[in-house]
A and B are shown apart, each in its own frame.
Chain A
Amino acid sequence: MRLKAIAATVLVAGLGVGIAIAAEDGTHDARAALMKKIGGATGAMAAMAKGEKPFDAEVVKASLTTISETAKVFPDQFKPGTEKGDKAASPKIWEDPADFKARAMKLSEDAGKILATPPTDVATLGAAMKTLGANCGGCHEKFRIKTD
C-alpha cells in the first residue's frame, strides 16, 4: 500500500521535473511547470487535510520535499534578460528581485522546517498547510499578472 503511494508520488514528481526540463529556462512554460508542481503537491496534502483521502505520512513528506526544492529553484527562472515574453510575470520581479527571491526562499524554508518535524495527523497537517498557504497570496499579489 505504502509502496504504491510512494511510487505514485515519485512518478508525478518525475513527470513534473520532465516537463520543467523540457521547457526552456526563463520561459512562461518553464515557470508555470514549476508552479504546477507546487500546486500538485499542495493538492495532495489538501485532499488528506479535507478528509478526501486517507492520511499518508509518506505522501506528506514527498509533497513537502517537492515544495521545498521547487520554491528554492523558482527564482532561477527569472534571471536578468528574461523580462520579456511572459505576460504573467510582472516587471516588478526585476524591479525588486530581492523581495521576489526572499518570498520564494521563505516558502522553501517553511516547507523545510515542517519537513523536519512532519505532520502526523490531519490536524497537524491542516496547521502546516496554513503556514505554507500564507506565502502564496503575497507573492502572487505583487508579482503575478492575470492574463486571460
Chain B
Amino acid sequence: MVRRFVRFLLCLVGVAVIGGGVFYFITAPNPLPESHWANLGAPDLKNGEMVFWTGGCVSCHAAPGSEGDAKLTLSGGLALKSPFGTFHVPNISPDEQAGIGTWTLADFGNAMKRGVAKNGEHLYPSFPYNSYARMSDKDINDLFGYLKTLPKSVNVAPPHELPFPFNIRLALGGWKFLYFNDEPRVALAANVDDQVKRGQYLVEGAGHCGECHTPRDQLGGFEAGKWLAGAPNPEGEGRIPDITPGSKAVGSWSQEDIANYLETGFTPDFDSAGGSMAEVQRNLAHAPKPELEAIAAYLKAVPNR
C-alpha cells in the first residue's frame, strides 16, 4: 500500500517537474538571434529621426518637465502610475554607465521587438514592445543609429515599484504567452491600397496608438475585438477616445480632417488637442504630411467599434 502511494507521489512530482519545465520553456525570454541583426548596414539617420518622432520616445523617456531641445536628452525618470504599480522610466541616452551606450543593435532590437533586456530578462510591457514588435528591422536599425547621436545623461532612474505578484519578472513570460504577438491587429480587405497599409504599419507599430486607445482587461492585455475603441485614461481622469470610423469623437471627420489634426492639433471646428494627446500630436507633427495622411487612411479603414 505504502509502496503504491509513494509511486503515486513520485509520478505527481514527475508531472509537476515536466509541467514546470514546459511552462518555463514556453515563457522564457525569446530574443532574436544575433545573426538576425548582423547585416542591416549603416543606419539612415534622417529616417531614424522620423521613426523617433512617430515612435514617441520623448513622451516617456525625456526628463519630466523638460521642454524643447532638452527633451532630446533621454534621461528617463518619469513615474508611470498603473493598476500594477508605478514604473520608473529608464535612461536610454547613449551614456555608457547610466544609459544604453554599451548596447549593441541586437540588444536594442530585441528590447524593441521581443521585450527582452540586454541582460536577458523580460521587460515590462509598459514599454510598448507589444506594438514596436511590428516595426521593420530597417527602421529599428535607423532609430538606434539616431538615438546614439543624442546627448548623454548620467541620470539613474529608481527601480519599478510593483507589489507582489507583479514584481516577478519571470511571470511576464506568462503575460507574453497570452498577449504578445506581432500579427496585424485588424484584418483589412485584401485589396486595400498602399496608403492604408502604410498607415497600418505606422499605427500598429511605432505609433503604438492602441496602447492608449484600446481598452484592456484585468491583466493589462488588449480586449479582443475592441481595437482603438477607446479606454479610460491611464494617466488619471477622463477618457481616451474611440477613434474607429463611427465614433463620436472622429466619426464625422474626413480623412483630410484627421491628417490636419495630427499636423496642427486643430479639430475641424478649431478645438485643439489636449491632455496626453497634445504631446503625441507635437511629436507626430515632425513626420511628413503623407505619413499623417496614411495614418488617417488607416483610421478610416479599421472596423467600426
Known: A42-B270, A133-B266. A147 touches B239 (CB 8 A): yes
Stretch at the interface among B7-15, B113-121, B142-150, B275-283: B275-283
Known: A46-B266, A133-B265. A144 touches B275 (CB 8 A): yes
Interface of A is mostly: helix
Closest to B274 in A: A140
By a beta-carbon cutoff of 8 Å, the part of chain B in contact with chain A is: 230, 233, 237-242, 248-249, 264-266, 269-279, 281-282
- Residues from chain B with Cβ under 8 Å of A46 in the complex: 266, 270
Q: Give the shortest distance, in Å, between B108 (CB) and chain A (any CB).
A: 30
Beta-carbon contact of A137 and B272 below 8 Å: yes
* 8 tightest A-B CB contacts, nearest first: A140-B274, A141-B278, A136-B272, A145-B238, A39-B270, A148-B239, A144-B274, A43-B270
CA gap between A42 and B268 in the complex, in Å: 11
- Residues from chain B with Cβ under 8 Å of A40 in the complex: 270
Beta-carbon contact of B249 and A148 below 8 Å: yes
Interface: A77 (CB within 8 A): no
Q: Give the shortest distance, in Å, between B240 (CB) and chain A (any CB).
A: 7
B265 touches which of A35, A38, A137, A145 (Cβ 8 Å): A137
- Residues from chain A with Cβ under 8 Å of B240 in the complex: 146
CA gap between A146 and B250 in the complex, in Å: 13
Number of interface residues of A (CB under 8 A): 23
- Residues from chain B with Cβ under 8 Å of A138 in the complex: 278
Beta-carbon contact of A146 and B265 below 8 Å: no
Interface: A53 (CB within 8 A): no
Tally inter-chain residue pairs, CB-CB below 8 A.
Answer: 68
Interface string of A65-78 (1 = CB under 8 A from B): 00000000000000
Interface: A113 (CB within 8 A): no
Beta-carbon contact of A137 and B273 below 8 Å: yes
Interface: A87 (CB within 8 A): yes
Residue picked from B241, B249, B270, B276, most chain A C-beta under 10 Å: B270
A sample of 27 cross-chain residue pairs with beta-carbon separation below 8 angstroms, ordered by A number, consists of A36-B269, A39-B270, A39-B271, A43-B269, A46-B270, A87-B237, A90-B237, A133-B266, A133-B272, A137-B274, A137-B281, A138-B278, A140-B273, A140-B274, A141-B273, A141-B276, A141-B278, A141-B279, A143-B274, A144-B274, A145-B275, A146-B238, A146-B275, A147-B239, A148-B238, A148-B241, A148-B249
Q: Give the shortest distance, in Å, between A131 (CB) and chain B (any CB).
A: 14
CA gap between A137 and B273 in the complex, in Å: 6
Closest to B279 in A: A141
Known: A87-B238, A146-B240, A148-B242. A141 touches B266 (CB 8 A): no
Beta-carbon contact of B278 and A140 below 8 Å: yes
CA gap between A140 and B272 in the complex, in Å: 7
- Residues from chain B with Cβ under 8 Å of A43 in the complex: 269-270
Closest to A45 in B: B270
Q: Give the shortest distance, in Å, between B168 (CB) and chain A (any CB).
A: 34
CA gap between A147 and B240 in the complex, in Å: 8
Beta-carbon contact of A146 and B269 below 8 Å: no
Beta-carbon contact of B265 and A136 below 8 Å: yes
CA gap between A46 and B266 in the complex, in Å: 10
Q: A137-B278, A148-B249 are in contact. List 15 more A-B contacts (CB 8 A).
A: A43-B269, A43-B270, A137-B265, A137-B272, A137-B281, A140-B272, A141-B273, A141-B278, A145-B238, A146-B238, A146-B274, A146-B275, A147-B239, A148-B239, A148-B242
Interface set, chain A 26-71, CB cutoff 8 A to B: 35-36, 38-40, 42-43, 46
Q: Give the shortest distance, in Å, between B176 (CB) and chain A (any CB).
A: 31
Interface string of A113-148 (1 = CB under 8 A from B): 000000000000000000001001110110111111
Beta-carbon contact of B230 and A35 below 8 Å: no
Interface set, chain A 55-108, CB cutoff 8 A to B: 87-88, 90
